[in-house]
Amino acid sequence: MPHRAHLFSLRMAHAFREACIDEPYRGRRFLRDVMAGLTVGIIAIPLAMALAIASGVAPQYGLYTAIIAGFVIALTGGSRFSISGPTAAFVVILYPIAQSYGLGGLLLATLMSGVLLILMALMRLGRFIEYIPESVTLGFTGGIAVVIATLQIRDFLGLQVGDMPEHYWDKLALLTGALPEFDGMSTLVAGVTLACMLLWPRLKTPVPPHLPAVVIGSLLTLWLNAQGAAIDTIGSRFSYLLPDGTEGAGIPPFLPEFAWPWQQAGASGEPVGLSWSLVRDLLPAAFAIAMLGAIESLLCAVVLDGMTGKRHSANSELMGQGLGNIITPFFGGITATAAIARSAANYRAGAESPVSAMVHSLVVLLALVSLAGLLAYLPMPAMAALLVMVAWNMSEAPKSLHLLKTAPRSDILVFLTCFSLTVLLDMVIAITTGVLLAAVLFMREMAQMTRVTDITQSKRIAESRLPDGWQVFKINGPLFFAAADRIFGELAVLARNARGFILYMDGVTILDAGGLSALNKLIATCERDGTQIVIADLQFQPLRTLARAGVAPIAGVSRYTSSLDEALRLISCPASETDRASG
């Protein structure tokens, strides 16, 4: 498909059809997908569990997300190599929802965000979301990383504290007060796990560092607990009910079952129910989830395009993400989006198509039903260390420092605003403010591109011998509300003493309602001051806007010509001919 067709295309299962149907898909490519899927599936198992815990729910819900959302999004989305599942970016939004509304509220918010993502796809907003500036996205990711790392202090140090408060400073106060009672053995396990993740890459093996790190942390925990330590594990902290009513430790070794999201438990333990008031309360969070999911998934797709030379379909990817987040909550899965680290690992492992992501989901499914007993031995301090490393990687600290050193002051201010709002207030507020800031920045940049130039003394104009008191001005750039008032205000000043002027508008691509209003004000000013104005060489969109608004020439004041040369001839005509032309 040509490059331009990808920009605003929307096709169900775009990536799968392009990679497996439009192109020959034979056994060798399938084998490469299977090997890549095995690799990423093994990587995803501890990450999915850790991210579910960080989001405030039991670890199996992270596995359900990787299984259902990972498969559905790969099948229906628009990026060949993306691996979707729970990601660290959502922790800051999901944790407060889980605390206030329980699992049921979290699943309902996820379902609502999926609907919003589909609406974004239908409105072809995919490419526009990618225009959100780096200062905004770095502010989000940096703030999210700080909050995630802070939430891991409890398990990293083995602190005995209850549920974390809502606000960041209250979290810090609670953790600081509990520091004297830290558990040395838990800290040792977390430290060893973190050291393994930092040192393992030096061996330059294809095995990702967090796998040996978690294994070493688990073995160390087994030995220390055998010596009398009391280090928390998945099995000691989480439990589930068996069909006979007895309680099992860790995660249930069962396939995810269908259930209505609103029938899942709320914060009180009772079904959360479905009501307009609950939907209204969750709508801001659902919007934040949808926006962050769109940004994260499309950013991942852009990164993969750069690595692979392929092209994703942004709107098809939003459609796939939306479908995944609508279907997954019915099977207990939480919010999902594309994960950059897992997607990059997928490509490096030899993936050829979205089949690798589907295989990854089946690997997680197999681990759930066959290895649940072993997964119960994963230590909570090791999971905390894993998430600390995830937080550091997602923070992109070197990029942020570079931005603070080299970016314009306005970009630095935007970065600090988004970062501070994410950490200190609420991710919903941060997302809303960030999107608005992105829109304002974009409009400012567009407005600054629009300029007016006096070209009266240019060679082309000088040769035509303008009548005395006439000037020629050229406008370049879109005339929308953010730029039009400034441009036409400048024109009014430049033409204050002129008998008349030509407004050369071949460089104006857009004239919106604000621009039309400003133009009418300029014409009214010219009529009041007795100044003539000739508007030359209008492009199609501005011409259509004027026609729809019923703007017509005003005798002795305003005239319209199809070219600059025609305008120059017109003002050189005798008065009688000029009057006929203006009519």
Q: What is the pLDDT of residues 523-552, one digit of tens each?
A: 888 888 888 889 888 888 888 888 888 888
Position 402 in a domain: no
Share of the chain above pLDDT 90, in %: 27
Same domain flag for 381 and 456? no
**Model confidence at 8: pLDDT above 70:** no
- Say what the pLDDT of residue 580 is: 44
**Measured CA distances, 67 to 90, 249, 358, 362 (Å):** 18, 21, 8, 7
C-alpha span between 80 and 297 (Å, rounded) = 12
Same domain flag for 83 and 212? yes
- Looking at every residue in the chain, the average pLDDT score rounds to 85
Position 219 in a domain: yes
Block residue for tokens 């600290």: 397
- Say what the pLDDT of residue 4 is: 44
The mean pLDDT value for 494-518 works out to 83
Q: Single out the residue in 350, 369, 396 at which a domain terminates.
A: 396
C-alpha span between 509 and 475 (Å, rounded) = 10
Q: Single out the residue in 374, 396, 418 at which a domain terminates.
A: 396
Under 8 Å between Cβ of 59 and 234: yes
pLDDT tier at 116 (50, 70, 90 boundaries)? Answer: very high
Side chain identity at residue 383, one-letter code: M
Q: What is the pLDDT of residues 21-42, one digit of tens each?
A: 888 888 888 999 999 999 899 8
C-alpha span between 312 and 74 (Å, rounded) = 12
Residue whose C-alpha is closest to residue 389's, from 520, 267, 208, 231: 208
Under 8 Å between Cβ of 32 and 221: no
Structural domain of 457: 451-572
Q: DSSP string covering 356-396, please?
A: HHHHHHHHHHHHHHHSHHHHTT-BHHHHHHHHHHHHHHHHT
- Say what the pLDDT of residue 579 is: 45
Residues in the chain: 583
> Which CATH number do you get for residue 513?
3.30.750.24
C-alpha span between 234 and 256 (Å, rounded) = 19
Q: What is the pLDDT of residues 133-166, one digit of tens each?
A: 788 888 888 888 898 888 889 889 988 887 777 7
Total number of domains constituting the chain: 2
333-347, 411-425, 488-502, 559-573, range with the lowest pLDDT: 488-502
3-state class (DSSP) for residue 501: strand
pLDDT tier at 573 (50, 70, 90 boundaries)? Answer: low
Position 422 in a domain: no
Same domain flag for 93 and 193? yes
User: How many CB atoms neighbour CB 463 within 10 A?
Assistant: 8
Q: What is the pLDDT of residues 71-95, one digit of tens each?
A: 999 999 989 899 999 988 888 889 8
Q: Single out the residue in 396, 419, 443 at which a domain terminates.
A: 396
Under 8 Å between Cβ of 581 and 573: yes
- Say what the pLDDT of residue 112 is: 96
Same domain flag for 123 and 226? yes
Under 8 Å between Cβ of 347 and 75: no
- Say what the pLDDT of residue 9 is: 66
124-128, 383-387, 506-510, range with the lowest pLDDT: 124-128
> Which of the pair, 422 or 245, is modelled with greater confidence?
422
The vertex-38 CA angle with 34 and 41, nearest 5°, equals: 130
Same domain flag for 41 and 183? yes
Under 8 Å between Cβ of 380 and 234: yes
The contacts of residue 98 (CB under 8 Å, 6+ apart) are: 55, 56, 57, 105, 106
**Model confidence at 249: pLDDT above 90:** no
Position 82 in a domain: yes
Q: What is the DSSP pairing of strand 532-536 with strand 500-507?
A: parallel
C-alpha span between 564 and 422 (Å, rounded) = 53
The vertex-264 CA angle with 255 and 291, nearest 5°, equals: 90
Same domain flag for 371 and 489? no
Alpha helices in 244-339 (DSSP H): 276-308, 314-327
Under 8 Å between Cβ of 14 and 301: no
Position 2 in a domain: no
- Say what the pLDDT of residue 481 is: 72
pLDDT tier at 260 (50, 70, 90 boundaries)? Answer: very high
The contacts of residue 564 (CB under 8 Å, 6+ apart) are: 460, 472, 502, 504, 506, 536, 537
Q: Which helix (H) or strand (E) holds 398?
A: helix 397-406
Rounded (10°) angle between helices 355-370 and 340-348 = 110
Q: Which helix (H) or strand (E) holds 172?
A: helix 168-178
Same domain flag for 455 and 390? no
Side chain identity at residue 429, one-letter code: I
Same domain flag for 391 and 471? no
The contacts of residue 273 (CB under 8 Å, 6+ apart) are: 104, 262, 266
C-alpha span between 214 and 222 (Å, rounded) = 12
Residue whose C-alpha is closest to residue 508's, from 534, 550, 536, 470: 536
Residue 34: half-sphere exposure toward Cβ, Cα within 13 Å: 6
**Model confidence at 359: pLDDT above 60:** yes
C-alpha span between 293 and 314 (Å, rounded) = 13
The contacts of residue 504 (CB under 8 Å, 6+ apart) are: 455, 472, 473, 474, 475, 536, 537, 564, 567
For residue 233, the cross-strand partners are: 379
**Model confidence at 582: pLDDT above 50:** no
Position 9 in a domain: no
Same domain flag for 168 and 271? yes
Residue whose C-alpha is closest to residue 351's, from 362, 339, 363, 342: 342
Q: What is the pLDDT of residues 162-193, one digit of tens each?
A: 777 777 888 888 888 888 888 899 999 999 99
C-alpha span between 220 and 509 (Å, rounded) = 66
Segment of 26-30, 266-270, 351-355 carrying the highest mean pLDDT? 351-355
Same domain flag for 41 and 143? yes
pLDDT tier at 313 (50, 70, 90 boundaries)? Answer: confident
- Say what the pLDDT of residue 130 is: 66
Position 4 in a domain: no
Whether the model pTM is above 0.85: no
Same domain flag for 459 and 376? no
- Say what the pLDDT of residue 5 is: 44
Under 8 Å between Cβ of 353 and 206: no
Position 406 in a domain: no
Same domain flag for 48 and 179? yes
**Model confidence at 553: pLDDT above 90:** no
**Model confidence at 421: pLDDT above 90:** no
